[in-house]
Each structure stands twice: as structure tokens, then as C-alpha cells.
Chains A and B, each alone.
Chain A
């Protein structure tokens, strides 16, 4: 039995575990790791089963090319030459900006770096993005404006020191179980807990206060709390004076948000709003924790701004046990953003519009680089539908299930002249591709991943990839060389050297340090730098923290007489996103094998629905069939459908209305009709 220490491939918590393998090179199980700062001997259900999909017989093992409408096996040489040739042809005929590159929050930092190098240096376009667009693009946009950095400000160990945790729009015990457990432990040692969530999630059972405000009314709630804090004189004057700017504008913007007005919008009682404000402001150290419930709205950036205002107003920043803590979803979504798999920045959030930065990368890569920021993933789907994007390379993403309005996505992808997909399973997206390249999964390649607390950690190869599958960095390196860009890497460690040279915040990250057992939280600018546990300590990354006033805007589509229910979407505790891994893991699939909707018993009674009955759910964009689950977790008038299931895909229904600034879709609110099948 061999034990290989690595990082979990699921959520952004970044737990470590040992992959156990036998002499025949087969994975035989998982053993929790002891030393990791968060996981210490514990794992969640997904973590315990993280080995289970690796040897699944449906793994892609050979490159496949579409001939006469069917995907057929081909050689690597043919597949790579064809990919390069097709993308090059489209770039030459229609301009480089007719290509789109979708990187992945599931692959390593090194691989994301190469993908953005391929888009920019290889094909001359900034059209690169990844699924952060669908999860925390609002966070990055909002927090960069107010603080100067879009990442989680504090560390997970801060839960040991905080006096109050304010969880808004995060079902933490199910989506980040180890972090959820730290919140439960904080509550058990006496820290306060406020949960703001329309669903009665598990943390709500333990909260001092559970605010069940209507989905999409967060700005009103938070502004109402802030108005009350000012009215009570509970703000941190000293912090506001010394460390922030634009306070007057914020104060003026809050006047309208009286408890009565806010109660009218949110459906809360007036005293709940004042109680939340006082609980929050009276605690010495408060950690704000948020996730998709805040970001996935057409006003997602405003939601983030409002939370940032709340933290700044009460001085909850730059100290242990405080901060604004977006919980990143994928295991390397933080890293994919850090590596510049985004349309407007290179690695380390260095802007492509900045001439000096461009010159630096241009000199390193010996290619002239495009200046105009590229397209966001969500806009690229629209552009593909309109025929402006003609070629796409997608690595480790499944937009067919993850993007809103599936019918529209299918039409857009089918409209492409050329679609190449690099993945480990024949996903719904890969099935539309002209060319499929089989990749190694997390257990079969080396690399680094950056967790939600900005912690750079090693992933290690435990077993060989199946068949002819190759690591993504090898595939991308080959494509780069075909484009005439220097990319002679013998290992991911060499790619990290290039990242460190070009990326100030990763300047001190080396494999040698990581191998010695260090795990580095960026910024880590120099080889001797110990890393940074807490951001914005003496001043914010941008200098002064900026108050950014927000006004309340309702969601784009609300229930009406034709579509009377509000549809909320999300995940379950046992499945991961589009299910390509967890639905192929025996024990996890057994837990939740079927698409379902949560519906309140009162609504069920009105419509004569019983438990497990099949329902037809329709929105303006499509119809799906799912089974009914009667539960008081959802409030009356709301249904909740997890988006994992291809056979009952919630994203057939969801609205592809986007936040104007971050381009994030409104996954958390749309209007649907519920009928018996």
C-alpha cells in the first residue's frame, strides 16, 4: 500500500489527504492527513470518496475526432495538429478574437497559467475565462473596487478567534463541510452566529438569529442593517476616519433604508433587522462568510459592495477573527483567477490594458500581446450564438450543465465552426465537440492548487493516467510549441518558476518550499517571505478602503401569475457541480441518485403534490421533470433544484440575465411554474 499526500479535488477548503494505492497502480482508498491546518484528521463525505471515480470505465483514454458526425479514436499527433490547425485557421480568417478559451478551476495553477499563455501568446486573444465567472466574479469585481483585492481577506484558522460569524448566502455545512464545522465549533465555544438565508439550512438551526429574507433582497437587508448601526452610533469612527474614504456618500445613500422600508422588501420583521444590526455591530470581531447566495444575482456586485461597506463601517478588517470571507467553490478557482485565466488580467491580477505589464509578459514570451480585454465566458456564449465566436477550446468545464439557459448554450456551442474539449469524462459538452482530448485527473498529475484562504498547496501524482490520457500541462505545452511559443517544460515545477518570475504575489512560491512542508498563503513576494495570513492589515491593498454606495434593484425575473414560484438553484452535500465525478462515485450517487425539487408542504398541499411524485417544472426558457421532496427547508412560494442532473437539469430553467459589471448570471432567482406530470 502506497500513500500519496495530495489536495482534495472538490471544494475550495483545500483539505489534504493521502491517496492509497496498491502495487498494481490502483487507488484503494483515502486516509485523512494530519498536518493540514483545516482538515487535521477529518474529511467530508466527498473527500472520503475522492478516489472512487478515478478508475471509472467511462474515463476518456484516447483522443477522438469527429468524422462523419461520429467521434472516433485518433492519434495524439493527429488530434493536436488538427486542434492547432483549426484554431489557427479561424484566427487567420476572422481575427484572433473570434476564438474563446475556457480554462478550468479543476486543473492546477500551472495548467491555468499555460492556458492563458496559449490564448494570449499562442493565438493573440484575451478571450479567456473560466467558471469563476459563474461563481465569484461579483466578489472579485466588488472587492477589487472597495479593498483592492478580490480574495478572502482572512484565514480559516480565524474562526477560532472570532466573536461572531455572519453567514449570508452560504450553505456552509453542505458546501464547505470542514469550514462549516469550524463555524459550528465557534458557535459551541460561545461565538455568536447570524445566518441570512431563505432556506432553513443546518447552520440556521444553531444561529442566534436566522433571517429568511426573500432571495435577491440582500442589498436592502444589509443597507438596512448599516442604517441602524449608524442610528445607534455603533460604527467604528476611528477606523472610518483613518482607513476609509467616501463615507459621506454611503451615509447619504442609506437614509431611505428604514426598518419599515427594508421589511417591506425583504419580508422580514422590522425587529429582526434591528436585532441583526445590533448583534453584528456589538461584537468585537466579526467574520462575514458568503458564497453563491450573494454573488449569483444580476446585482451580485452590489451585494458584495454592501457587505464590504458593512465590514468597513464596523472596522472588521485586517485583524484576526474578522474580515470579508468569500468561500471559493472549486478546489482551484482561486488559483485559476490568480493565474489570469480571466479576460482582463494576467497572473497576479496584472491588467492587460497596462502597457508596462504587457511589455513584461511580451518580453518573457517573445510574442506581441493583445491589448483589448477579452470576452467573459457568459458573453462568449452569446457571441457564439451570434456567430462572432467561431472556435473554442474548453478544458475541464461542462458549460452544457453549468451555464444558465441550457437550450441557448447548446445552440451556441453547435453554432461553432470548431470546438475542442479537454476532459476526463465524456461530458455533455464533450459530446458536442469536434475533437476530444483525454486528460489526466487530479490523482494522476503533479501541480499546485490555491485554496479559498489563498493557500498554495501541492497536488501529487499517485497513479498513472488511463490509456493514452495526458496531463493538461503536457497537452497545453504541445499546443504552445506548435504556436511557436517557448514552452519546453519538463515538469510543473518549471512552470511554477515562470509563474513566480512574472507574478509578484507568487514570487516566493517554489516547489522546493512546498516540498519541505510549507504551504504558502499569497501574497508571498520573495523566497524568504512567510506568506500572508490576513490581508489589509495596516492599510488596504488599494490604500484606503472605499465605501461604495448601492441602491436596491430587484431580481430581473420575479414570479408572476403565469410562473408563480421562485426557483432557487444550488448543490447538494454529496454531489459536485455537473456530477461528472460524483455521479460516477458509487456511494455518492447512491445518496442522491435522482433530480428533485424541494417544495414547501403548504404549496404541495395546494397543488395536490405528494412526496416523490414526478413534477413538470417550466420557466420561460424550458421544461424539466423532477421528483418532489416536501420540506420546510424552503419557504412557501420557493422551490429549490440542485443543478447536478443532466436528466433534470435546473439550468434548462435558469435565466441568463447577467450582472452588468461582472457578467454573472442570476442563478438564484427566476420564475417557474409547477405542474403534476
Chain B
């Protein structure tokens, strides 16, 4: 089997129908006012493939907002049963930034101690990417992070060309899909040439949006730890947690037991949490490591550009721009980084 294939554009509808018939299919749908979300679809007509990053990233399928982890029954000893609620899902039309986000989550949850809930669910996901040929809007900073190009982490990856989609087949699952759909053609030299010129064109469009290399970011944050910029950002922040909820790589969660009224039975759940909440870093005795909003915002930036580079050798910002788009106070990631760079120079 070739590692690449072509899908005639006219047959995309059939491919979507094939995927929907196979298992639950999720893709971007329009909500109006240039807002999109990932939702279940059954046909091409429901999809909006020319879309801005969705309000919530695909992480909502990997790490549900409110997830039951185990149920317990103390009536006879300490009975505990794991609860793993999974279903087979195909995610269709993922942008490269969101694929990068999923890769980041994979690293975190595969790290010791391995998170079996996450990893089990991940194995039930089929991921089909879709290449961006231009910026979605001015909030994005994907070129800085090189996430505007496909870097794996998918089963199939589709690039729209004149008459075809160029499809990169990355996994055995991807191979099976191409074979069973029976809609694909062999790659032609012409198609390869077209792909090369498309990628060349992208090089001109996607240029580092910031006057800094991502490798130099830790140094920037070290130098500007006490910057006035953080105070200004903190003065604006409403501590609502929109930025972390919509971030494709924010994964912090809180654990809680939800006992039934009799207190003998109940469930343990995990819920999305946010480092922007006032009490996130509060410890016994009421001390708070990051009591100020400015400190919490600084922490968020460090958790994207600084700490993960040391631990995972990877930046945890995907350049999708969701945090800036969704900020109620108008805190803009690129503006903030530029202000830090300006101040240092």
C-alpha cells in the first residue's frame, strides 16, 4: 500500500458518508458569527471545512469536561470499580494546530504515572487532518511554532488541491480506511508537483509572527519575570478561566468524590480546572503561591513556552489563537509577548 493517495474532490461527500457509517463522526460545524464547534455529523453538508479554530478544541473528546473515574461502595469493605466510558470516534478535518495539541496531551498523559483513562480513550480515536493554506485570522501564531505544517499524529492527513485532496496515510488504521472506502486514486507526479508548489506558497504566507524564536522564549521569561507587563495583564484579567478551558494543551483537572446521600456509595470524578482560578495554588493554611492575577497569567505563559520545553522538549502553545479570541478582557497572547520583547530591548 502506498503511503499517499488522492481523493477526487467530487468524492469527498462519499468519503464523509463512509466514515459516518463506520463509527461516530465528529467535525467542525458553523455556529454563525464566525464561530465553530466540533460536533457529530453524518454528511458533508453539515461540515464547515473552511473554519476558524473551534470554540473548544478536540481535547473535549480526549479529556471530557466532567469525567467519572471510578465508582465506590463502602457497604462491604472498600469496594472500588474503575469506570472507563469510551466510544469509537473519528475526528475529521483537524487543523495542524489541533493535531499538535493532541500530541502534547499524549505526552503528558503517557508520562509517569500513565493515565489509563486518557490512554484508553485515545486508542478509540481516528484522526483525520486537514491542511490550512492560509492564516485563519490575526490571532494565530502557528508559524512561530512550526505547527502550520503536518508533523504526524494523525491517521490520514488531507491537503486540498485543484481537483483532489492529497492524502498522507500515516497509520495502519489510515491504510484500512483508504482501502475500504475504495474512493482513492494513486498519487500522480503532477499531484506531487502541485503539493510542492502549495507548500512553497505557504512558506511565503506563514512567517514567524513574532520577533523571537520559540527556542529563546525561556530566556525571555527569565528576563521579564518582574516585568510591569504582567501587572498590566493581571489588572485586566477577570480570572474566568476561558483561556485555559479553550486551550488545546491545558489539561489541569481537579478531583472530587460525589457521594450519594447515604455516603456509602458514590463516584470519583475529575473536572477541568484552571490555573487562573484564585484558589488553584492555595494550600493548607490559606497560603497561595499565586495569589495575584498577574502571577497566574505569568504562570500560564510559562506553562506554554517555558516549563514544557524543559520537561518535554516541546512548546505547549500550538499557535491556534483560542486564548486571545476567547479572552473577555482582551488579553492577547501576541501583544503580551511583543510587550515583553519590547521591554527587554
Contacts and interface: CB of A to CB of B under 8 A. Distances in A.
B35 A40 contact: yes
Interface stretch (B120-128, B170-178, B238-246, B307-315): B238-246
Interface stretch (B5-13, B197-205, B271-279, B298-306): B271-279
A89 interface: no
A498 interface: no
Contact of A34 (B55, B240, B245, B254): B55
A257 B255 CA distance: 58
Contacts of A22: 85
Contact of B235 (A1, A44, A58, A206): A206
A542 interface: no
A42 B243 CA distance: 9
B275 to A, nearest CB: 13
Given A33-B31, A177-B238, A185-B330, A45 B277 contact: yes
B194 interface: no
B238 A29 contact: no
B241 A42 contact: no
A276 to B, nearest CB: 22
A587 B277 contact: yes
Interface string A591-602: 100000000000
A187 B60 CA distance: 34
Interface string A169-189: 000010001101100110010
Interface stretch (B93-101, B102-110, B221-229, B257-265): B257-265
A30 B64 CA distance: 10
A32 B38 CA distance: 12
Given A34-B32, A612-B286, A173 B37 contact: no
* A1, A18, A180, A612: most-surrounded residue (chain B CB, <10 A): A1
Contacts of B66: 27-29, 51-52
A247 interface: no
Interface residues of A, number: 45
A496 B130 CA distance: 46
B326 A42 contact: yes
Nearest to A627: B286
A35 B55 contact: no
B36 interface: yes
Given A34-B32, A590-B279, A43 B64 contact: no
Given A22-B85, A29-B66, A31-B55, A586 B328 contact: no
A605 to B, nearest CB: 20
Given A29-B66, A181-B328, A184-B329, A45 B279 contact: no
B286 to A, nearest CB: 6
A181 B326 contact: no
Contacts of A383: none
B325 interface: yes
B261 A587 contact: no
B325 A28 contact: no
B70 to A, nearest CB: 16
A32 B31 CA distance: 11
B240 A45 contact: yes
Nearest to B322: A41
Interface string A30-73: 11111100001111110010011001011000000000000000
A328 to B, nearest CB: 20
Interface in A318-350: none
B116 interface: no
A510 interface: no
A444 B259 CA distance: 22
A41 B329 contact: no
A262 interface: no
Contact of A45 (B33, B241, B246): B241
Given A3-B39, A41-B326, A587-B271, A28 B32 contact: no
A202 B238 contact: yes
B193 to A, nearest CB: 39
A252 interface: no
A205 interface: yes
A98 to B, nearest CB: 37
A586 B238 contact: no
A35 B242 contact: no
Given A20-B65, A181-B238, A591 B326 contact: no
Interface in B70-88: 85
Contact of B328 (A20, A30, A177): A177
Nearest to B31: A34
B337 interface: no
30 contacts: A29-B66, A29-B272, A32-B55, A32-B326, A34-B33, A34-B37, A35-B33, A40-B35, A42-B328, A44-B328, A45-B239, A45-B277, A48-B240, A48-B245, A57-B261, A58-B261, A173-B238, A177-B238, A178-B328, A180-B238, A181-B238, A181-B329, A188-B330, A517-B32, A573-B238, A586-B254, A586-B256, A587-B271, A591-B278, A611-B286
